Amino acid sequence: MNQSREKIWEQKMLFEKEKLEKSHELERERIEAEKEKWAYEKERAITERERAKMEFELRMKELELRYQKKD
């Protein structure tokens, strides 16, 4: 009887260990996905700023040319 209790206890501990390892693995994967998401968002924001800056500069050049022609 005592051996079967020990065996059950060992199995329970093994299952708990596996459960913790899987939980940690899932958490690492979640964190990695979050890191990738933030890197993508940062890159997208930089691209948006660059596009807006280029559009602004283009618009300024158009206005300069328009006023130069009037003079």
Question: Alpha-carbon distance 31 to 37, whole Å?
Answer: 10
Residue 1 has pLDDT above 70, yes or no: no
Q: Which domain does 40 fall in, by range?
A: 1-71
Q: What pLDDT is attached to residue 67?
A: 86
Handedness of CA 46, 52, 58, 61 (dihedral sign): negative
4-47 confidence digits (pLDDT tens): 989 999 999 999 999 999 999 999 999 999 999 999 999 999 99
Global model pTM greater than 0.85: no
Q: What is the 3-class SS of the chain, one letter each residue? A: CHHHHHHHHHHHHHHHHHHHHHHHHHHHHHHHHHHHHHHHHHHHHHHHHHHHHHHHHHHHHHHHHHHHHHC
Write out the two tokens for 49: 């700023």
Structural domain total, the chain: 1
